[in-house]
Amino acid sequence: MFSHLLLLSIAAPLAAAAVISAGLPTRAAKFVATLGFALPALIALHVWYHFPAGVGANYEFIQSYHTGLQALGIKLTLGLNGIALPLYVLAGLVGLAAGLYAIQSGAERLKTYLALLLIMQAGLMGAFSSVDIFFFYFFHELALIPTFIMVGVWGGKDRGYAAMKMTIYLTVGAMLSLLGLIAIYYKSGAENFDLITLRQTLLEDGIIAGTQNHIFGLLMFGFGILVSLWPLHTWAPLGYGAAPSSAAMLHAGVLKKFGLYGLVQIAVPLLPLGATHWAMPLAWLAVVGNLIVIGLITIAQRDLKQMVGYSSVMHMGYAFLGVATLSAVGAGGVVLMMVAHGFSVALLFLLSTSVYHRTQTFDLTEMGGLVQKAPVLAAFFVTATMASIGLPGLANFWGELTIFVAAWKFSPLLTVLAVSGVVISAIYGLRAAARVFFGQPTEAFAKVIAEKPPVDLRWSEKIPALILLAALFFIGFWPKSLSVPLNAALEEVYPSKAPVITIVGQ
């Protein structure tokens, strides 16, 4: 039983989705869904706690299952190394929070909504625990398709257009990455898709430089679209603006990290020469495009949810910069950043929706003074904002700091530009908090208050928010809980002399 935990964390939400679709009464469906979200979260916490101390370089909890595709070199191999573990934990916890928030949301056709979220959750748990890159990709698609449906059916304004745009962009991104992944497999000459085998094969005999450049380019832009690399990001604010909150939480919080995870875990280590070739353009796109241009655009937003969406695109700039440094410090910063950002952006989407339920609008110019009615909501929101702008004591700080440290060695000029992001994010973050909560209510909001006096956060909203807050504080105070296994894996995958040079085969 315990040796199949990772499989169980994928199977449980799937099973819950199947049971719910079979036609349970709503109350029972909610219960089953709670189980379906709670089990992966508990398993994630369990493997995190029991992750062998001092290791992380190798895959732990590893299990292989036959799928009938062995002839193609495809096996379902599940396992976690120090890079995958943080993402797996992130998926489990954000999944639980998003699930609980969805259960209380009172959405129409709630059962179908929950079933789709559960399938998405299964895909997320699978993507980050797959050692086999075929299944890594497969599980991503499994999570992606319900996203489109949820945006299209349960979305807010412009949902049709948003769903269409998201589908096109993300499908293209996924296809490009698939091509890249297959190219690695094909060019490596390995006998299967298993990442461990691939790495060993490539260590003995690397891919020639020119080909690496092509493949890395494919992966960089493919994954880049998925992670909203500027200028391929336009789907993100639109999609998140329209998406129902739990779908936005899971996508922005977790699924989006698939691309960065692919770069850190697969592309950079396996294609070191290609990565070196592309590092500079990637860093410039990230810093000028994501951090500065999108940062300024975030300042100009009037819609709270769009603002959170844009801020999430902006923060990906730090992550891409970290990837581009091609060093263990940078990659470690990226992983910490991914996890922290996942928690904080999910929390912000959750709280923004809770704000919406009280103000009946996402328009920042029609709110004000909400703290007087909802002090707990305000405290949570300010904390989440502080997390997202990198206040120490909350998880995001560590990622940003290590990325800056790594970036200085890579390019001081880019570091100076990137660090200006801390000012930009403070401007839009605090501005939004002030507009929503402080001062006096605007006229429009005063009318809403008179009609339907807002209440403070209910427990059903508080619990998912507290899960995310607790994670942010825990990692913020005790980064070692993630960094120890992470560092062990990085030392293996990113040997200390960066950029990595491997043998150039002919």
Among positions 331-360, residues that touch other proteins (CB under 8 A) are 331-333, 336
358 Cβ partners below 8 Å, 6+ apart? 370, 373, 374, 377, 454, 455
Q: Which is nearer to other proteins, 167 or 246 (CB)?
A: 167
* Residue 369 lies near other proteins (rule: CB under 8 A): yes
- Can you give 211-225 as a three-state secondary structure string? HHHHHHHHHHHHHHH
- Which token pair is 212? 């690496």
Among 214, 361, 474, 499, binds other proteins (CB under 8 A): 214
Contact code string over 157-186 relative to other proteins, x by CB under 8 A: -------xx--xx--x--xx--xx--x--x
Q: Select the residue interacting with other proteins from 89, 198, 355, 486 (CB under 8 A).
A: 486
Q: With respect to other proteins, which residue has the nearer C-beta, 132 or 492?
A: 492
Residues 414-443 touching other proteins, rule: CB under 8 A, are 415-416, 419-420, 422-423, 426-427, 430-431, 434, 437-440
Tell me the pairing of strands 76-80 and 60-65. Answer: antiparallel
Query: CA 443, 241, 475 angle in degrees (round to 5)?
Result: 100
Q: Site for other proteins (CB under 8 A): which residue of 479, 485, 492, 500?
A: 479
Nearer to other proteins, 175 or 280 (CB): 175
The two three-digit tokens of residue 202, written as one number? 């490539």
Smallest separation, CB 361 to other proteins (Å): 19
Q: What is the 3-state secondary structure (H, E, C) of 134-186?
A: HHHHHHHHHHHHHHHHHHHHHCCCCHHHHHHHHHHHHHHHHHHHHHHHHHHHH
Q: Tell me: does residue 452 bind other proteins (CB under 8 A).
A: no
Q: How many DSSP H helices and E strands does the chain contain?
A: 23, 2
Compute the distance between CA of residue 367 and CA of residue 448 in angstroms, rounded to an integer: 10
Rule CB under 8 A: say whether 318 interacts with other proteins.
Answer: no
Interaction of residue 397 with other proteins, rule CB under 8 A: yes
198 or 215: whose CB is closer to other proteins? 215
Q: 206-232: buried (b, 16+ CB within 10 Å) or exposed (e) per residue?
A: bbeeebbbbbbbbbbbbbbbbbbbbeb
20 or 418: CB nearest other proteins: 418
According to CB under 8 A, which one of 52, 210, 501, 504 is a site residue for other proteins? Answer: 210
Give the nearest distance from C-beta 293 to other proteins in angstroms. 6
Which C-beta is closer to other proteins: that of 234 or that of 460?
234
- Token pair 């049709």 is found at 160
456 near other proteins, judged by CB under 8 A: no
In the list 402, 411, 442, 502, the residue contacting other proteins (rule: CB under 8 A) is 402
Nearest distance in Å: CB 335, other proteins: 9
CA pair distance 248, 245, nearest whole angstrom: 5
Based on the shown chain and the rule CB under 8 A, indicate whether residue 406 belongs to the binding site for other proteins.
yes
Using CB under 8 A, which of 197, 312, 411, 483 touches other proteins?
A: 483
Report in angstroms how near the CB of residue 246 gets to other proteins at its nearest: 27
Distance of alpha carbon 411 from alpha carbon 429, whole angstroms: 27
Contacts 24+ apart (CB under 8 A), 138-146: 139/10, 140/174, 140/255, 140/258, 141/174, 143/119, 143/250, 143/255, 144/170, 144/174, 144/255, 146/116, 146/117, 146/119, 146/120, 146/247
- Residue among 409, 413, 421, 353 at smallest CA distance from 381: 353
Instruction: Please report whether residue 444 would count as binding other proteins according to CB under 8 A.
Output: no
> In this complex, which beta carbon is closest to other proteins, that of residue 13 or of residue 332?
332
Contact 493, 83 (CB under 8 A): yes
**In one letter, which amino acid is 371?**
V
Smaller CB distance to other proteins: residue 18 or 484?
484
Residues 42-81 that bind other proteins (CB under 8 A): none
Q: Is 458 in the site for other proteins (CB under 8 A)?
A: no
Asked if 398 interacts with other proteins (CB under 8 A), we say yes
* Least distance in angstroms from the C-beta of 17 to other proteins: 27
Least distance from other proteins to the Cβ atom of residue 39, Å: 28
**Rounded to an integer, what distance in angstroms lies between the CA atom of residue 311 and that of residue 436?**
17
Kindly report the backbone phi and psi dihedral angles of residue 492, in degrees, each rounded to the nearest multiple of 5, phi listed first: -75, -45
Number of residues that bind other proteins (CB under 8 A): 79
Any contact of residue 365 with other proteins (CB under 8 A)? no
Shortest spacing between CB 304 and other proteins, in angstroms: 16
Site for other proteins in 296-315 (CB under 8 A): 296-297, 299-300
Distance separating alpha carbons of residues 356 and 482, to the nearest angstrom:
34
